[in-house]
Structure 1
Amino acid sequence: MDRTTMSPRTGIAGLGMIGRVHLDAVRRTGAPVVGISASSPGRAKEVAHEMDVPRAFESSEELVTSDEVDVVHICTPNDSHASLAELALRAGKHVVCEKPLTTSAAQADTLAALAAASGRVAAVPFVYRYHPMAAEARTRVADGRTGEIRLVHGHYLQDWLSLPSDTNWRVDAATGGPSRAFADIGSHWCDLVEWVTGHRIAEVTAVSQAVVRDGGTPGTEDVVQLLLRTDRGATGSVTVSQISPGRKNRLWFEVDGTRASLAFDQENPETLLVGGRGENAAVLRDPAVLSPDAARLSVVPGGHPMGYLDCFAAFVRDVHTAIRGTSPVRHPTFDDAARMVRLTEAVLESATHRTWREVP
């Protein structure tokens, strides 16, 4: 029997915070999680017992090549993404890989090409696309209600590294890669805004800063402030920070067109603000009145709040339908992820040389 006609057997490499989010999303689709790997065999056994997963693999390399697994979720530190994803694709697995896809643009482009040649589903969880009101914004841009887009702007702010004693493996450039704040969360903002508007960020100029921590100044940035131009003539700006006290996960964007503006706040995702010269409105998430794409993602009635975990589950459902070949590709792909790695490199180069950089 062709395994792709059944619920795909999933293995998850890495069961930290984001790995547990992946596990929850897979289980919400009804697909089995057959095994996990962790930082050590002992840790894998502990987590497998805790999360009621049948098998603890000795290593992530063993997991991504196992005959027991159809779909691999890679949730390990960034420096291992490229090698594990390549192993999985060459072993014939479908792959869901956390972002950044790789820590260099050359690696990312090579991996995206390998994924395309493999014929396997290769996805990256840019899951903010799955907020129904972000999808509603995309429809309103596409159908012309906003008019021509002139300006895109916003921010993505967190506070989890705002104290000198705060640290994490992502702070280490050897493990997390040369960019932290922008690669980790700035890429989410840029992917979402490109998806909503249909514009592509073509040119950037950036400044960055890193704060002194216990043990010295990290090799990765805490803040990026970016000016941008798009391929269709719009301009914009975004501030990305992981040191903004009180901001837990504030992804906010506004799109200003010739007829209307749209604003979305991930911390208040049940509404889309629509602005005009005559009046402003807060459009509520109600599947009965939303566009078809937004209604598809709106899985509970209006007034019953949806959030991040719902977005993740919707993303995994799209991956599974793509594996079965029963719908068009809706999920973010390795090509989308490779584009964000190229953008990240352009941002770092601009911040270093204090000049505009084109995005390849």
Structure 2
Amino acid sequence: MLDIRRQSAEVRTGIVGTGFIGRIHARAVRQAGARLVGIAGVTMDSAVDGARSLGAEKAFESAEELIESGLVDVLHVCTPNHLHAPVALKALDAGLAVVCEKPLATDAPTAALMAARARDTGAVAAVPFVYRFHPMVREARALLTELGRVSLVQGSYLQDWLLKSTDDNWRVDPKRGGPGRTLGDIGSHWFDLVEFVTRDQVTRVCAQTSVVVADRVTSGPVLTEDLATVQFTTASGALGSVAVSQVAAGRKNRLFLEISAAGGSLAFDQEDPERLWLGGRTGSRSLVRDPMTLSPAAKPYSPLPAGHPQGFHDCFDAFVADTYAAIGGVRREGLPTFEDGERAARITDAVLQSVRDGGWVAC
């Protein structure tokens, strides 16, 4: 069974960014048994505070100083979106492995450049599409191979953290967050999960977006979408639809995915991640996570016995453990790479073009 607690005591890690997601990364780094050598923040004071609170050995004045220090093997990029590309590209050019938060870049051409640079350097370059690491997602992927042709993919990703005009964040600013806010932030997770579970690719999209909260307290007039609805087709001929929103009152982080195939249906709800719904013509049932009965693909990601709930932290720990295993030369199936980040960016760009042009767009 995969040990997500200690992958390597030799990997030396640096993190750029000291906010919420930087703390999540730092915890997973420690769980993997790596050394958290350095932290870089917006200012030296924030780096010092971050190093102290996250348990790093040293604070660095800038991302450049951390990259050029020669003290780290892998860099985790946890900055606002507009800084992902310059920091990650600099790290790749310095010979480092890179873990870069999603969206990989604020536009598809830049994401493609980053994916190409990772291929050219041969570096391990991963994107934390961590919902792939729920054991029941792995189980869904394995089961779907037995259900025949997929006909319909549907779902949603709903949050409410930007519901009010007093709710604000750098992501609302297109200069820092990019032109596709809700799509890049949470839509990217949903579409990545679709392509991972179905082993299929989204080929065309037709979309609508809406700004529900037109003015926010610090950002002023809002230029990026609060919600979107997207219809799509896949390479295999399946049809699909999704709604993504950051203004859905009462929904905190509800990623839902349902897939209908010739031999049955399945559904996964990220807010109830211990279960997978399985549907058939003669009845349906709920499959509960149990490492004693899970498929070989899912079992390594289920280190806790049945009845001991797993969640988001466990997914992140497994993602970082698999990334560090890859750095050590062991590649495990399903590690999301910069190529997957490029895919998500291409879908986001296609959705935004569809909104502008009012029709179907290839992606």
Gaps of at least 5 residues in structure 1 are none
Q: TM-score, normalised by structure 1?
A: 0.96
1:1-360 superposed matches below 5 A: 7-142=10-145, 144=146, 146-210=147-211, 211-214=213-216, 216-328=220-332, 330-359=334-363
- 3-state DSSP class of the match of 1:292? coil
Gaps of at least 5 residues in structure 2 are 1-6
Q: Deviations over 1:294-317 (max 9, x none)?
A: 111001001000000100000011
Query: Is contact 1:103-1:178 (8 Å) kept?
Result: yes
Q: Which amino acid aligns with 1:309?
A: H
* Matches of 1:244 and 1:63, distance apart in 2: 39
* Matches of 2:88 and 2:235, distance apart in 1: 31
* Matches of 1:326 and 1:167, distance apart in 2: 41
Query: Is contact 1:65-1:87 (8 Å) kept?
Result: no
Query: Is contact 2:89-2:114 (8 Å) kept?
Result: yes
Query: Is contact 1:322-1:329 (8 Å) kept?
Result: no
Query: Is contact 2:203-2:232 (8 Å) kept?
Result: yes
Shift of 1:5: 7.8
* Matches of 1:5 and 1:189, distance apart in 2: 31
Query: Is contact 1:165-1:213 (8 Å) kept?
Result: no
Query: Is contact 2:157-2:186 (8 Å) kept?
Result: yes
1:328/1:52 CA distance change after superposition, 3 Å: closer
Q: Deviations over 1:54-77 (max 9, x none)?
A: 101001121123200100000000
Shift of 1:93: 0.2
Q: Which amino acid aligns with 1:160?
A: W
* Matches of 2:35 and 2:206, distance apart in 1: 45
* Matches of 1:135 and 1:329, distance apart in 2: 10
Of stretches 88-97 and 56-65 in structure 1, the one that deviates more from structure 2 is: 56-65
Runs of 4+ aligned structure 1 residues displaced above 6 Å come to none
* Matches of 2:319 and 2:53, distance apart in 1: 25
Query: Is contact 2:259-2:266 (8 Å) kept?
Result: yes
Question: What percentage of aligned pairs have identical amino acids?
Answer: 49
* Matches of 1:149 and 1:329, distance apart in 2: 22
Shift of 1:330: 3.4
Q: Which amino acid aligns with 1:167?
A: D
Q: Which amino acid aligns with 1:220?
A: T
Q: Deviations over 1:99-131 (max 9, x none)?
A: 111111111111111100101100000000000
1:150/1:348 CA distance change after superposition, 3 Å: same
Q: Deviations over 1:185-237 (max 9, x none)?
A: 00100000110011110000000011212354311111010000001000010
Q: TM-score, normalised by structure 2?
A: 0.95
* Matches of 2:187 and 2:24, distance apart in 1: 20
Shift of 1:252: 0.3
* Matches of 1:133 and 1:22, distance apart in 2: 22
Aligned residues: 354
- 3-state DSSP class of the match of 1:288? coil
* Matches of 2:348 and 2:341, distance apart in 1: 11
Query: Is contact 2:8-2:34 (8 Å) kept?
Result: no
Query: Is contact 2:179-2:224 (8 Å) kept?
Result: yes
Q: Which amino acid aligns with 1:94?
A: A
1:318/1:218 CA distance change after superposition, 3 Å: same
